[in-house]
Amino acid sequence: MRVLVFSASLRKDSLNHKLAAATARMVEAAGEKAELRRMNDFDMPFYDADLYTAKGTPDGAQKLADLVTGTDGMILSSPEYNWGVPATIKNAIDWLSRMEPNPLRHRTVLLCAAAPSPVGGVRGLLHLRDSLETLSTFAYPRLLCLPRANEAFADDGSLKDAKIADEFQGIVADYLKFAAAVQSR
């Protein structure tokens, strides 16, 4: 399987990108191929129905849609902004939602979040899950949240806490089984 592993922050030192990179290594450890990307790889304007009518889907959104449909699963790590979904990823979802056929339909996703707070970004993921589910994306029921993420990574990008690393490896492995089952239906 090829799995798109994608972080939604634009920040160079993004904690969510570190978490995405860590989960990408977990995908590879489970014997599958990870395609690691970040939001900056998919430049797109704010959704504007007039722009869509005049010019269609922007190249960045098309590139993301092609990756979503060309892979067998998706791991998405997103920051929580003000208990909600950052504009970056919501905007990308809005562009993809206008495409026909809908590239997110019947795809699977494992949602992840990293935050310095003790809550770990879970509230943002609940909103993100709603937007994806309304587009018929199958969100894996477990959410992978990393609280106090600013202290969680070693210099080589690995998770310092072996217990957390083991737990996350288990969630990623379970998600891969779920994605494979949905893909083969």
The residue ranges that bind ligand FNR (CB under 6 A) are 9, 11, 14-16, 79-83, 115-117, 119, 121
Nearer to ligand FNR, 13 or 50 (CB): 13
Please state the closest distance from residue 175 (CB atom) to ligand FNR, in A: 20
Please state the closest distance from residue 10 (CB atom) to ligand FNR, in A: 7
3-state secondary structure of 135: coil
- Report the DSSP pairing between strands 144-146 and 108-114: parallel
C-alpha to C-alpha distance for 65 and 57, rounded to whole angstroms: 10
Please state the closest distance from residue 180 (CB atom) to ligand FNR, in A: 28
- Phi then psi for residue 143, to 5 deg, are -105, 140
Q: How many other β-carbons are positioned within 10 Å of the β-carbon of residue 77? A: 32
Nearer to ligand FNR, 8 or 179 (CB): 8
Nearer to ligand FNR, 110 or 179 (CB): 110
Please state the closest distance from residue 43 (CB atom) to ligand FNR, in A: 17
Nearer to ligand FNR, 9 or 71 (CB): 9
- Phi then psi for residue 128, to 5 deg, are -60, -40
Beta-carbon contacts of 33 under 8 Å, excluding residues fewer than 6 positions away, are 1, 2, 3, 27
